[in-house]
Amino acid sequence: TPFADTIANGTDALLPAVYAIFFTELLRSPVTNVANIPGNVYRHYLGPRAPDQRRMNLYFNGTPYEISERYTNMTNMIFLTFWYSAIFPAGFFLVTAVFAVHYYSDKFCLLRIWTPGPMVGNKI
């Protein structure tokens, strides 16, 4: 596509699409992590209705998480920011907001929602 079409304001242009990616990343992941719908169903609906204590304890475990997924999302946003930095310099400000929101939502999830990490020591 010609450069004029790349920086246009239409719905088929590149800049609104890149902005939509940043804005979606700003809201989608933190909201779904903090809402934790399956975890709330387990704790507030299925847990109290469990027939015995062992099964009820299983429902009250936290949601498992992968630290590699968090790093992959961050790397993806950094790459996207640098890739489009020449035509979309506002991406640096948006990615700063994305990282701030992700930091606080991940901190909340790590302390309140997700399962504790494995015990790591100096022995194999």
Whole-angstrom Cα distance, residue 75 to residue 72? 5
Q: What is the per-residue pLDDT across 52-103, written as a single tens digit (0 to 9) for each?
A: 999 999 999 988 888 888 899 999 999 999 999 988 899 999 999 999 999 9
Enter the pTM of the model: 0.83
| pLDDT digit string, tens, across residues 17-30 | 888 899 999 999 89
Name the pLDDT band for 13 (thresholds 50, 70, 90). confident
Containing 30, the helix (H) or strand (E) segment is: helix 14-35
Quick count: other Cβ atoms within 10 Å of Cβ 111? Answer: 9
